[in-house]
Structure 1
């Protein structure tokens, strides 16, 4: 059923999807609390690698600008 050549990311995603199917009320609880705090995992899973790289660059450049501004 599982492929031995599966990457760790694919394994994690498969297990996460399996947990969502098997425990919908737990998923509801997680979703409610995730909406309050946000989830980087879901943010980066929804983005392509290029969009994720741009987001990281924006965060780094913004941090550098803030450090220079408040110095």
Structure 2
């Protein structure tokens, strides 16, 4: 659909332990600008480094509307 600037935040060791056996296991956070060409929904998929990801959670920036965080999980 479109591409966007992003910053990738991988899980640290504490997160890996805390998220084991949860919906957030093996997820990464993608920080993108809040205002995009289209509204982001969890029905969309992301592609990064040739790998596809489902959007697990969308965390919008309700205070400043600058950046949102997308929690994504690799498609098996």
Query: Normalization by structure 1: what TM-score?
Result: 0.28
Higher strand share: 2
Higher helix share: 1
Structure with more contact order per residue of length (Cα contacts < 8 Å, sep ≥ 6): 2
Query: Normalization by structure 2: what TM-score?
Result: 0.26
Larger Rg: 1
